[in-house]
A and B are shown apart, each in its own frame.
Chain A
Amino acid sequence: MAPVTMNAFELISTSQGLNLSSLFEK
């Protein structure tokens, strides 16, 4: 990881809690 160049929101958007596609899986 390169923390200084990382966009915080980009990092946040990778959370599994935000991945709603799981709702559509069996």
Chain B
Amino acid sequence: GCFRSTKTSKLPRGEDPIVLASETPFTVNEIEALHDLFKKLSSTIVDDDLIHKEEFQLALFSNSSKQNLFSNRVFDLFDAKHNGVIEFGEFVRSLSVFHPYASEQDKITFAFRLYDLRQTGYIERVELKEMVVAILSELDSTLTDEAVDSIVDKTMIEADLNGDGRIDPEEWKDFVTKNPSLLKNMTLPYLKELTLAFPSFVLHTEVPD
């Protein structure tokens, strides 16, 4: 055990980089680089190896008190155990969906869960409208309620093929297959270049891929 004994000790207890690498598109080296990133993000406010919501907001918006509907949804999905913080394993497994080599089905499912605001198993029309209103207010738009309804109605007509007023997972899959640009933000090219993005790690690692 010349490499495990010296290099895996810095990861949080219970998280084996080899196991994480086997469950995700990341290599062991990339898991270690992600841990460097995680350590940085989890120590900006409270240095406790956990990403608190304020630390997540600080990383996303450079402001620990700024949040929006979508950053809250992303945080909630990353916080798989729903205990109010993101642990390292949750961080790695959630980010793995955003890897350029992650399966398209995983990206489609993650995006669906993101937009299924109330976790009913459907993206309801009311949820779609809530998201449109949230992004428009973020953009300081002053569209009328009628204009917002027309955006929402048009998208529902395209996506809700069975016309029951909500988008189910199969309809979502059809819709993003026809509109692949909708999955663009589900891929982070950075994740393919982690060891380049955090080269400090490469200098001191001896873990083979």
Contacts and interface: CB of A to CB of B under 8 A. Distances in A.
Contacts of A4: 150-151, 154
A20 B78 CA distance: 12
Interface string B126-139: 00100110111010
Interface residues of A, number: 23
Label chain A's interface by main secondary structure.
helix
A3 B143 CA distance: 9
Nearest to B73: A17
A11 B143 contact: no
Contacts of A8: 128, 131-132, 151-152, 154-155
Interface in A1-26: 1, 3-24
Label chain B's interface by main secondary structure.
helix
B153 to A, nearest CB: 9
- On chain B, which size bracket covers the interface? 35 or more
B41 A12 contact: no
B101 interface: no
B190 A21 contact: yes
Interface stretch (B4-12, B15-23, B63-71, B201-209): B63-71
A8 B147 CA distance: 12
A24 B179 contact: no
A10 B161 CA distance: 18
B135 A15 contact: yes
A6 B149 CA distance: 12
B81 to A, nearest CB: 20
A2 to B, nearest CB: 10
B188 A20 contact: yes
Nearest to B40: A26
Contacts of B102: none
Contacts of A11: 132, 135-136, 151
A12 B197 contact: no
Given A6-B151, A7-B155, A12 B135 contact: yes
Closest CB pairs A-B (n = 5): A17-B70, A17-B71, A8-B155, A17-B68, A3-B147
Interface of A: 1, 3-24
